Structure 1
Amino acid sequence: MHGSWADAHFWDGVAAELRRSGHDVYTPEYAGHGEDPNKNVTHAMITKSVVDFITKWNLRNFVLVGHSFGGTVIQKVAEQVPDRIKRLVFWDAFVLKDGESVVDEFSPQMRQGFEQLRASSKDDTIFMPFSLFRDSFVNTATLEDAERMYENVTPEPAKPLFEKLDLKTFYSLPTPKSYVYFYQDNALPRGENYGRHPNMSRRLGQFRLIVGDGDHFTDTRTRPAMVAQKFYEAGRD
C-alpha cells in the first residue's frame, strides 16, 4: 500500500524484483488516487478499496505492506480481514494510536504548514511544493532523479490525513508485525515525541525490525532490488 503523493505505480520496480524472485505481488490502488478524479474521499473509502480488492481476488495468507500513510491503511484493513493476513509490514509508515489522525503525528510547525496548503486549494487537496519534496522525500537523490520523480506527484486528498481513526480493534489483533526503517528517511521530524522509529514502531508491541540505508521515496526507483530484499526479510517466516 503506497503512501501520500503517490499511486500504485510507486511499486512498479519493487514489484518486478519480487516477481522475478518468484513471489506473487499485488498493488491495489486507492480511492482518490491514480486515475480516480474524485478527490473528495475519506479514509474509510480508501480502506474499502483495498478490502474489496482482497476479497475480489480471494487473497489469503499474504504479507500486507504499507508505506508512509499506507501504514494507517493496513491498520484499518487488518481490522476487516485479519484471518487473511499472514503478517503486516510497516515501511517508514505511520502507526497511529487509537483516536489519532496522521497530522496528530506532525510537529506544530509542520501541521500549520499543511493546514495552510489545504486552505489554499480549491478541492480540499494538499499540493507538495518541490522544495519540500526534495528535502523531505528524496533527500538522497540527484537533482535529476528528484525532478523526474516529482513529475508524478499529484495533489493529495486532505481529508484522510486529518481524520481521527478508531483503532481499538487493530490493537487487539495477534497478527505478526514487522517494521522496516530507513535511516535517511527525512519525511517526518525526529525527536523524543516525533518520528517513525522508535516513536511509532514501538506501538506495535512485539515486532521484527529490519533497517536499511535510504530515504522516503528514492530507493524504489534507484535501488528496487534492495527495497525488495528488505521486504522479503521483513515478511519471511
Structure 2
Amino acid sequence: MTHFVLVAGAWLGAWAWDEVAPGLREAGHEVHAVTLSGLAERKGVPAGLRTHVQDIVGHVERHDLRDVVLVGHSYAGIPVGQAAERIGDRLRRVVFVDSGVPVDGQSFLSSFDSAPVRQALDANDGLWPPLPPAEYAGQELTGEQIERIVTEGTPHPGASLTEPAVLKRPLGELPATYVKCLLDGAEPMPPVAELLKSERWELVEMDTGHWPMFSRPRELARVLAESAAGD
C-alpha cells in the first residue's frame, strides 16, 4: 500500500487536503495529512525550516511508513524536498505541487522578490499573515474557498521562510513529479526547470490555480495517484 504524506503550503494545515484525501483512499492508498508546527491546530509552536523538515520526517518514522509519496504544496515543497532525502528507502516518490524546491544554502524567500513578505514579517512580529482576498483572484477559487483560506489560515512562522535549506545530495537524483498549475504562471521557476532535465523528474500540468486542493481536488487526487503508479 502506498502511503501519501500531504503537506500544504503557507497558512494552511492538514485541513487543506480534506477534499483530496477521499479520492486517494478510493484508489486504495493510505493518506496522512500533516500540519506543520506553528499552523492550524499547532498554532503558537515556534518553528523554523528545520522544525518543519523534522515534522515530516518524524511523522514518517513515528508511523513506520514505507512506500511513501511525499507531497509538498507551495512553501511546503521546501521542507518536503529536504525530508525526501532523509527518509531514505522509505521514499517511493516526491511530488511538488506548484511549489518551491529547496536549493542548498538558500531560503524560501531567495527564489523571488521577497520584499513585500519581509515587510509583512516586520509588521507582524515575525509572522506572515494570509493574503487579503483580492490576492486570490484569477486562481479558479470560489468566494467561499477564498474566505476559508483567509479566515481559517494561520499566520505563517517567518523563521521557516528565512532559514536556508540543507541538502546532502542533488535533488534531481530523487524520483519526482512537478505539478505546474498554469493559472499561476505557465513556466516553472528556473530551479524547477533545471531539475526537470533529470531523467528521474516528470512534469504534469494542471489548468487551474495555485491552490488545486480547493479548485480541482478530484483531479489533483488522480494526478497524485498516477504519479505513484507510474514510477
TM above 0.5, yes or no, is: yes
Contact 1:180 1:210 in 2 (8 A): yes
C-alpha separation between the residues in 2 aligned to 1:230 and 1:224? 10
Contact 2:97 2:179 in 1 (8 A): yes
SS of the residue 1:26 aligns to: strand
Moved over 4 A (4+): none
* Structure 2 spans left out of the alignment, 5+ residues: 1-6
Contact 2:139 2:208 in 1 (8 A): no
CA displacement, residues 180-231 of structure 1 (integer Å, 9 cap, x when unaligned)? 1111125xxx8xxxx7x152323322311111111112x3234311111111
C-alpha separation between the residues in 2 aligned to 1:132 and 1:94? 22
Q: How does 1:1-237 map to 2 (within 5 A)?
A: 1-107=7-113, 111-122=114-125, 124-131=126-133, 133-135=135-137, 139-167=139-167, 169-171=168-170, 174-185=173-184, 197-204=188-195, 205-206=198-199, 207-217=201-211, 219-237=212-230
Deviation at 1:13?
0.7
* Structure 1 spans left out of the alignment, 5+ residues: none
Give 1:73's aligned amino acid.
P
Contact 1:61 1:86 in 2 (8 A): yes
Contact 1:40 1:157 in 2 (8 A): yes
C-alpha separation between the residues in 1 aligned to 2:108 and 2:68? 26
CA pair 145-8 structure 1, distance change in 2 beyond 3 A: closer
C-alpha separation between the residues in 1 aligned to 2:58 and 2:144? 38
More strand by share: 2
CA pair 67-146 structure 1, distance change in 2 beyond 3 A: same
Deviation at 1:93?
1.1
CA pair 185-39 structure 1, distance change in 2 beyond 3 A: farther
C-alpha separation between the residues in 2 aligned to 1:17 and 1:163? 34
